[in-house]
Structure 1
């Protein structure tokens, strides 16, 4: 896992570009880049009905997933992945469909500097057990 001295530019130029940026960041182990795709007040669904709310919790969840090697298939820029966005004003619903038919959905919003970031991600980490906090509050790393 790497972090950068100068974090990757926040978000993407278009909501449908968030998916490919995510895959690129995962492939590079770029935790700052991954977190930069989410708004500071974003919420990411975790297994068992849990959620990571806010940048600190999202960073912890993705750090645990990267450390456990659990994002390989989730973030892989595999052939056949399609990304779409339905935009209404400053909000967008983004979806990606993998070759095996898995569909991921997120909600993105336009930032003040005309970039797009995810604000709600209900599917990316939902089945990644490594993201769950241990009973002590620390994230469990498998």
Structure 2
């Protein structure tokens, strides 16, 4: 897995292109580029009703999924489309096995598209659940 101090580009030129950029970045092992497809205020659904909110939590979840090898291969999208309404879009991708994933994307000020809500990509990936803390809060 590679990381870069400054990803070459953030987001995609069109919302329907986010999925192919995601696949290319995962295939290249470029975690920074994968995280760059999400807005700073994005939220990603995780298993058991948990969520990763913001770049640090999303990076941690995606790094775990990449390390577990669950973001490529058979889970790669074979089709992707978007329904655009102003600066928001609903993106939908379908994998070879028929799994459908949906996300919400937003157009940035510079015209690029980033995901703000990813409700299905990591929802079944147990490797993304953060380890429990060893410390207990004392009131």
Q: TM (normalized to structure 1)?
A: 0.89
State the alpha-carbon separation in 1 of the partners of residues 48 and 5 from structure 2: 34
For 1:27, the equivalent position in structure 2 comes to 27
Aligned in 2, Cα 1:6/1:74: closer, same or farther, shift over 3 Å? Answer: farther
Aligned in 2, Cα 1:101/1:75: closer, same or farther, shift over 3 Å? Answer: closer
Aligned in 2, Cα 1:68/1:120: closer, same or farther, shift over 3 Å? Answer: same
What are the residue-to-residue correspondences of 1:5-44 with 2, within 5 Å?
A: 5-44=5-44
For 1:128, the equivalent position in structure 2 comes to 125
Q: TM (normalized to structure 2)?
A: 0.91
Shift of 1:5: 3.5
State the alpha-carbon separation in 1 of the partners of residues 99 and 93 from structure 2: 8
Query: Is 1:22–1:75's contact at 8 Å kept on the other side of the alignment?
Result: no
Shift of 1:64: 1.1
The number of residue pairs the alignment matches comes to: 134
Please, which moves more after superposition, 1-10 or 119-128?
Answer: 1-10
Gaps of 5+ in 1: 138-142
State the alpha-carbon separation in 1 of the partners of residues 109 and 74 from structure 2: 29
Aligned in 2, Cα 1:74/1:36: closer, same or farther, shift over 3 Å? Answer: farther
| Runs of 4+ deviating beyond 2 Å | 72-77
Question: Cα RMSD (Å) of the superposition?
Answer: 1.4
For 1:67, the equivalent position in structure 2 comes to 67
Shift of 1:74: 6.5
Question: Which of the pair has more CA radius of gyration?
Answer: 2
Shift of 1:99: 2.2
For 1:117, the equivalent position in structure 2 comes to 114
